[in-house]
């Protein structure tokens, strides 16, 4: 069954790596629903957050192929239950209209939004949340002349994750320690031996 | 005086000396033990060729006739020598001509380092003369690639390139170097080989518990079956592999790239897997109870229809590449790691056993195949020669000691089915990609990689015409390669499919050929053409005994088919004997 999966990839900061990762999806004709790449908490290491709609079987194989790339340190995949995620949205609306027709204060409170810029001609609101939440604010603002809207890609934190600093130490050792978790799959002994 | 000293190239008196990027590249080649480079010069790689001129005594450069020939030669070199093949090409068309070879090396896990010239860094993205986006074109067909725009990067990046190409599951690496970096002089601090990259794990940690679980399954098995691929050869684990199957007493069949890892006359060698493999290994895949896959990737040409493949068996999969586990066939027990390490661990835990009844089943299958296929192929009753009898006759002359390089098509299947091999790294073929035109240049490289061995290229009339310009490379380099063209005046494999699956609608498979012997003669290569049975053996002997390259054209049956065959979309047990 296809469902939304969030793929988290830790990589070296290397020219051309975005293409190397992107073509792994396009080769299999998988559409990328959302893609974010930015520096991680560890200097020099970038974090990709990629959202796709696929079956687990496809995602598992794909993530292994991604992790195999030389400049990729680690790749994870998670269902929506296993992550906390947000998208950031910006809304540009005419200040006149807003001031006249909308109870701005209530709007901001209800949608957890804040005004980033207030000018004579326009105002920019910002909010973050899941897709439905940012969509809701569009529907509120559209009747009052929404000029422009933009949404960021998803960023996600894996609930179980213990951060990447520890993991990186393992990678920096020349010889991997026997206790190194090479792949989560391998540590699920009982689930692996399907007899 | 002072200035003269400063600008003199490669001042060697000091520890830190000033050299150009091109010289640093040549130094890297020497440090990595490279002796032979296959390549073709051009505008954007001229500084490197200029530097190469000064390293002539240390680095042998083989001038090919086309960059595709260069990369296939490097592949042949890597496959027979076990070392990393090196290719030089210029920017633009020179680089794009490498793409087929890169794809071939990628899918067949062949270690290569390809150096391409690139336009000056300030011209990148300006549609400069012979500029092409090589990095992005080659990304899907390289294990790693990198563009160098500054000479100071050259030593470190080259060290990484050789490390990545040759370690773990090997593969092709491409390094694109802009012309300014080739020309740039910098303070060279020496070359340091690379042994570790933090984001790269060449091999997974071996998990003992999985080896133990695998051993338990093997010890409890009644009809275990080993299938092995090139992983055994790439891991240099031929002895470890032999020790394992001999102790466990398990029959073993090979993929086309695993061929020659185990000598063909070994009593436990039961033959070839896959679409045109032997009858027994295919049929009995669906009768074994434990299937032990070693260094192979369950290619679709091996498995046929996946939902009809070894459904009854528990699968133990030994592979160095974690991404191969469960990719096509779900493993009951995955044994990750270099089989050079995992096989001895497994051998220590398995019981000494033999399965005479199970082996008899393979023998019965061989008997059936012998009656239905071998007899007709090896001892035809018609006056027209068959491909199989050519290979069989060659076996008697070389006694299985030659390196056989094959192209793609019917002749390839026949050569792999019937050729005898006594030692590893003797079978060079384009397996995964199926690149017609591979064999002639690959044979050149194979000979440079194993100069003391006899190299025989077996090629079809179609494939030969794809890269026949490399006869020029043979002529100029003087490399001694024996070439057999099995000429059926057809693109035989496509014709066979048209006969079997497209109502004999022979669309564009009737291919005309030049006078191959005269063509070879034009390049100063001796040769002859035979079509009569009594002349076959003497002709093959003349070819082998000839001191120099030789081209032997053998006219074979026009509409012969390769059998057995697992038709596409069928399970392995549905293999057809005719």
Burial class (CB in 10 A: 0-12, 13-18, 19+), B465: buried
Please check whether residue A73 touches B, CB under 8 A. Answer: yes
- Domains identified in chain A, total number: 2
Mean pLDDT, rounded, of chain B: 96
For chain A, the farthest-separated pair of C-alpha atoms sits apart, in whole angstroms, at: 71
pLDDT at B3 over 50: no
- Return d(Cα B240, Cα B524) in angstroms, integer: 45
Structural element, H or E, at residue B147 = strand B144-148
| Average pLDDT of the segment spanning A84-92 | 97
Question: Are A117 and A162 part of one and the same domain?
Answer: no
**Pick from A77, A20, A74, A69: nearest CA to A52:** A77
B471 domain-assigned: yes
Query: What pLDDT is stored for residue A168 in this prediction?
Result: 83
**Pick from B93, B91, B147: nearest CA to B119:** B91
- Return d(Cα B475, Cα B125) in angstroms, integer: 39
Query: Among the listed ranges A39-43, A177-181, B482-486, B535-539, which one has the minimum average pLDDT value?
Result: A177-181
| Average pLDDT of the segment spanning A86-98 | 94
Q: Which of B209, B323, B336 sits opposite A189 (nearest CB)?
A: B209
- Return d(Cα B557, Cα B555) in angstroms, integer: 7
Sort out which chain B residues have CB atoms less than 8 A from A181's CB and list them.
Answer: none
**Token digits for B200?**
């790269």
**Pick from B437, B485, B438, B490: nearest CA to B459:** B485
Q: For residue B105, give its domain range.
A: 2-188
The CA distances from residue A39 to A42, A155, A169, B288, B331, in Å, are: 8, 12, 18, 51, 37
Question: Are B180 and B223 part of one and the same domain?
Answer: no
Query: What pLDDT is stored for residue B327 in this prediction?
Result: 96
**Phi/psi-derived region of residue B431, left when phi > 0, alpha when psi is between -120 and 50, beta in every other case:** alpha
Give the E-state strand segments of B9-57 in sequence order. 17-20, 36-39
Q: Pick the residue with more confidence: B282 or B205?
A: B282
* CATH code for position B454: 3.40.50.970
- Return d(Cα B86, Cα B26) in angstroms, integer: 12
String of b and e for B525-539 (b: at least 16 CB within 10 Å)?
bbbbbbeeeeebbeb
pLDDT at A145 over 80: yes
Sort out which chain A residues have CB atoms less than 8 A from B210's CB and list them.
Answer: 186
ipTM score here? Answer: 0.93
Please check whether residue B201 touches A, CB under 8 A. Answer: yes
B148 pairs with which residues across the strands? Answer: B177
Query: What pLDDT is stored for residue A194 in this prediction?
Result: 33
Provide CB contacts within 8 A for B569, sequence distance 6+: B304, B305
Percentage of chain B surpassing pLDDT 90?
A: 96
Closest-CA residue of A relative to B325 is: A61
Question: Are B505 and B425 part of one and the same domain?
Answer: yes
Inter-residue contact A155 to A83 (CB < 8 Å): no
- The residue out of B188, B220, B250 marking a domain boundary is B188
Query: Among the listed ranges A141-150, B109-118, B140-149, which one has the minimum average pLDDT value?
Result: A141-150
Please check whether residue B507 touches A, CB under 8 A. Answer: no
Question: Are B447 and B537 part of one and the same domain?
Answer: yes
Question: Are A127 and A94 part of one and the same domain?
Answer: yes
Please count the helices (runs of H) and the strands (runs of E) in chain A.
7, 9
Q: What share of chain A is helix, strand, coil (3-state, %, to 5)?
A: 35, 35, 30
Question: Are B257 and B117 part of one and the same domain?
Answer: no
- Return d(Cα B170, Cα A4) in angstroms, integer: 34
A190 domain-assigned: no
Question: Are A108 and A174 part of one and the same domain?
Answer: no
- Return d(Cα B562, Cα B84) in angstroms, integer: 34
Inter-residue contact B288 to B316 (CB < 8 Å): no
Please check whether residue A79 touches B, CB under 8 A. Answer: no
**Token digits for B254?**
């090979």
Query: What pLDDT is stored for residue B11 in this prediction?
Result: 45
pLDDT in tens, B334-352: 999 999 999 999 999 999 9
B509 domain-assigned: yes
Closest-CA residue of A relative to B200 is: A70
Question: Are A147 and A163 part of one and the same domain?
Answer: no
The CA distances from residue B507 to B85, B208, B492, B497, B512, in Å, are: 38, 55, 12, 11, 14
Question: Are A66 and A108 part of one and the same domain?
Answer: no
Query: What pLDDT is stored for residue A172 in this prediction?
Result: 81
Q: For residue A50, give its domain range.
A: 3-83+156-185
- Return d(Cα B221, Cα B287) in angstroms, integer: 12
* CATH code for position A18: 3.30.70.260
pLDDT band, residue B459 (cuts 50/70/90): very high
A121 domain-assigned: yes
A191 domain-assigned: no
Q: Which residues of B are catalytic?
A: 67, 129-130, 179, 493
A155 pairs with which residues across the strands? Answer: A86
Question: Are B393 and B512 part of one and the same domain?
Answer: yes
Q: Which of B144, B195, B332 sits opposite A174 (nearest CB)?
A: B195
Query: What pLDDT is stored for residue A175 in this prediction?
Result: 64
B410-418 and B387-398 helices, crossing angle to 10°: 40
Inter-residue contact B496 to B561 (CB < 8 Å): yes
- Return d(Cα B466, Cα B228) in angstroms, integer: 31
Question: Are A7 and A73 part of one and the same domain?
Answer: yes
- Return d(Cα B394, Cα B409) in angstroms, integer: 19
pLDDT in tens, B120-141: 999 999 999 999 999 999 999 9
Question: Are A119 and A179 part of one and the same domain?
Answer: no
């Amino acid at each position: 069954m296809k469902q939304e999966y969030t793929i988290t990839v830790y990589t070296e900061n290397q020219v051309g790596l975005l293409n190397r990762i992107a073509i792994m999806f396009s080769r299999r004709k998988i559409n990328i629903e959302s893609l974010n790449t930015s520096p991680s908490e560890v200097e020099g290491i970038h974090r990709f957050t990629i959202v796709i709609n696929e079956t687990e079987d496809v995602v598992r194989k794909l993530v292994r192929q991604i992790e195999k790339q030389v400049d990729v340190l680690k790749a994870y995949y998670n269902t929506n239950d296993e992550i906390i995620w947000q998208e950031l949205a910006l809304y540009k609306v005419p200040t006149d209209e807003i001031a006249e027709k909308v109870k701005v204060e209530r709007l901001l409170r209800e949608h957890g939004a804040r005004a980033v810029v207030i000018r004579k001609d326009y105002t920019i609101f910002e909010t973050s949340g899941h897709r439905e939440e940012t969509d809701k604010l569009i529907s509120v603002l559209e009747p009052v002349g929404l000029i422009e809207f933009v949404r960021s890609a998803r960023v996600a934190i894996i609930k179980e994750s213990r951060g990447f600093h520890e993991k990186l130490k393992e990678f920096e050792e020349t010889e991997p320690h026997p206790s190194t978790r090479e792949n989560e799959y391998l540590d699920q002994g009982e689930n692996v031996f399907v007899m | 005086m002072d200035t003269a000293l400063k600008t003199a190239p490669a001042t060697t008196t000091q520890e830190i000396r000033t050299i150009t990027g091109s010289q640093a590249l040549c130094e890297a080649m020497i440090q990595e033990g490279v002796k032979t480079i296959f390549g073709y010069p051009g505008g954007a790689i001229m500084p490197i060729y200029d530097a190469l001129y000064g390293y002539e005594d240390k680095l042998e450069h083989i001038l090919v006739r086309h960059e595709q020939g260069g990369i296939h030669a490097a592949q042949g070199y890597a496959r027979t020598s076990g070392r990393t093949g090196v290719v030089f090409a210029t920017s633009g068309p020179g680089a794009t001509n490498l793409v087929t070879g890169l794809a071939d090396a990628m899918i067949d896990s062949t270690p290569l380092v390809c150096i391409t010239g690139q336009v000056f860094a300030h011209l990148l993205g300006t549609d400069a003369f012979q500029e092409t986006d090589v990095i992005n074109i080659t990304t899907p067909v390289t294990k790693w690639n990198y563009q160098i725009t500054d000479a100071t990067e050259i030593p470190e990046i080259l060290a990484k390139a050789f490390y990545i190409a040759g370690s773990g599951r090997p593969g092709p690496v491409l390094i694109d170097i802009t012309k300014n970096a080739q020309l740039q002089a910098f303070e060279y601090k020496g070359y340091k080989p690379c042994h570790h990259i933090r984001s790269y794990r060449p091999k997974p940690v071996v998990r003992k518990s999985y080896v133990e679980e695998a051993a338990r399954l093997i010890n409890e098995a009644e009809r275990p079956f080993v299938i092995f691929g090139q992983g055994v050869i790439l891991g240099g684990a031929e002895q470890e592999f032999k020790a394992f199957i001999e102790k466990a007493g398990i029959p073993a069949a090979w993929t086309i790239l695993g061929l020659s890892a185990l000598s063909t006359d070994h009593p436990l060698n039961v033959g070839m897997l896959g679409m045109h493999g032997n009858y027994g290994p295919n049929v009995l895949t669906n009768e074994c109870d434990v299937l032990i896959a070693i260094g192979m990737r369950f290619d679709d040409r091996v498995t046929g229809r996946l939902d009809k493949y070894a459904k009854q068996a528990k699968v133990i999969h030994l592979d160095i590449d974690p991404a191969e586990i469960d990719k096509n066939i779900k493993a009951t027990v995955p044994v990750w790691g270099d089989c050079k390490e995992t096989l001895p661990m497994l051998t220590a835990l398995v019981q000494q056993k033999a399965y005479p009844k199970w082996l008899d089943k393979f023998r019965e299958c061989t008997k059936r195949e012998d009656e239905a296929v071998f007899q007709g192929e090896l001892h035809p009753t018609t006056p027209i020669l068959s491909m199989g009898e050519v290979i069989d006759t060659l076996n008697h002359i070389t006694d299985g000691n030659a390196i056989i390089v094959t192209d793609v098509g019917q002749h390839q299947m026949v050569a792999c089915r019937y050729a005898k091999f006594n030692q590893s790294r003797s079978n060079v073929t384009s397996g995964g990609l199926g690149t017609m035109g591979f064999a002639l240049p690959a044979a050149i490289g194979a000979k440079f990689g194993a100069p003391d061995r006899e190299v025989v290229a077996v090629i079809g009339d179609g494939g030969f015409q794809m890269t026949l310009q490399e006869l020029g490379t043979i002529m100029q380099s003087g490399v001694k390669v024996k070439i057999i063209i099995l000429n059926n005046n057809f693109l035989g494999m496509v014709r066979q499919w048209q006969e079997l699956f497209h109502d004999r609608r022979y669309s564009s498979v009737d291919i005309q050929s030049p006078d191959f012997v005269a063509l070879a003669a034009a390049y100063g290569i001796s040769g002859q053409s035979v079509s009569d049975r009594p002349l076959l053996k003497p002709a093959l002997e003349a070819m082998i005994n000839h001191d120099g390259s030789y081209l032997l054209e053998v006219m074979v049956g026009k509409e012969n088919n390769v059998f057995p065959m697992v038709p596409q979309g069928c399970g392995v047990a549905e293999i057809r004997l005719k």
